[in-house]
A = this chain, B = another copy of it.
Amino acid sequence: MVTKVASVTKEVLIGDGLTTVLIGERINPSGRKKLSEALMIGDLEVVRKEALAQVEAGADILDVNVGVTGIDEAAMISQALETVMETVDVPLCIDSNKPKVIEAALKVYKGKPLINSVSGEERSFKEILPLVKESGAAVIGLTADDRGIPDNADQRLRIAGQIAEQAELAGIPREDLIIDCLAMTVGADGKAGLVTIDAIQKIKTELGVNMTLGASNISFGLPNRELLNGAFLSIVIASGINCPIVDAAKVLPLARACDLVLGRDKYAMRYTTAYRQFSSHH
């Protein structure tokens, strides 16, 4: 099963056995004071710089989130997307769960975007899925519902199944659904990593969908986060995560290492290229 997303000039393919696609996470004000403040005063220079830096670092798709309290998010996402599309040519991921923000984003976006996200809530199905269907976009489905994020793999599989069912009813092809089964910190719950890894394997086996994950939460509050994130990212990529949401500047060489040991880089070209690129910047 192959998911296609596209800008005007570039198509990115996501699928099992293909090289890992990196979704750049850095255009997101959550926890980033400088970007939050810039968005509050309508200054898009930080967004432009982040877009350029991430694509240079190897991001294949950029996530764009402008969720700051007190701004007109619908207006801002349009401006942010325009700015990013002027700056780089990779496909984009519209990161909002608000129908009005997504609608505004879809009006300006040129190509086939990824929408991040629909969840397992009834209201989310009703509001988001018709927008996905109408625009022909691909969509990320989060394995959370009214009761939050289940603490076990079977319940996350259940929600993923409901999302797949509702997407099908809405006329969205299975290959345009990408599941995010969510990672919590192992600092708070020693079973959190295992639950996510189990959920990935179960969802991949049962539904055959492509999958994304924001993997860096796993290490929150613990020392040597890069090592822990690296171990976890390697395991989840091998388990079926095709397009993790990451800081490309930090994980590109590791993602290429994973692809190499997983037989997706025949002559080690992508690995050695990433090594040279990374070495010359550090």
Show the binding face of A for B, using Cβ within 8 Å: 186-187, 190-191, 193-195, 197, 218, 222-224, 227-228, 230-232, 234-235, 238-239, 253-254, 257-258, 260-263, 265-268, 271-272, 275
Give the residues in chain B near A239, CB-CB below 8 Å. Answer: 238
Give the residues in chain B near A272, CB-CB below 8 Å. Answer: 222-223
Total copies of the chain: 2
Q: Supply 20 A–B pairs (Cβ within 8 Å), ascending by A.
A: A190-B263, A190-B267, A193-B260, A193-B262, A193-B263, A194-B262, A195-B263, A197-B262, A218-B261, A224-B257, A227-B254, A227-B257, A228-B260, A228-B271, A230-B234, A230-B257, A232-B234, A232-B261, A235-B235, A235-B258
20 other A-B residue contacts (CB within 8 Å) besides A222-B272, A231-B258, A235-B261: A186-B261, A190-B260, A190-B267, A190-B268, A191-B266, A193-B260, A195-B263, A197-B262, A222-B271, A227-B257, A228-B257, A228-B260, A230-B230, A230-B257, A231-B234, A231-B257, A231-B261, A234-B235, A235-B262, A238-B238
Chain B minimum-CB-distance residue to A255: B231
Majority SS at the chain A contact face? helix
Query: How near does chain B come to A194, taking the closest CB pair, in angstroms?
Result: 3
Query: How near does chain B come to A258, taking the closest CB pair, in angstroms?
Result: 5
Give the residues in chain B near A187, CB-CB below 8 Å. Answer: 268
B222 touches A261 (CB 8 A): no
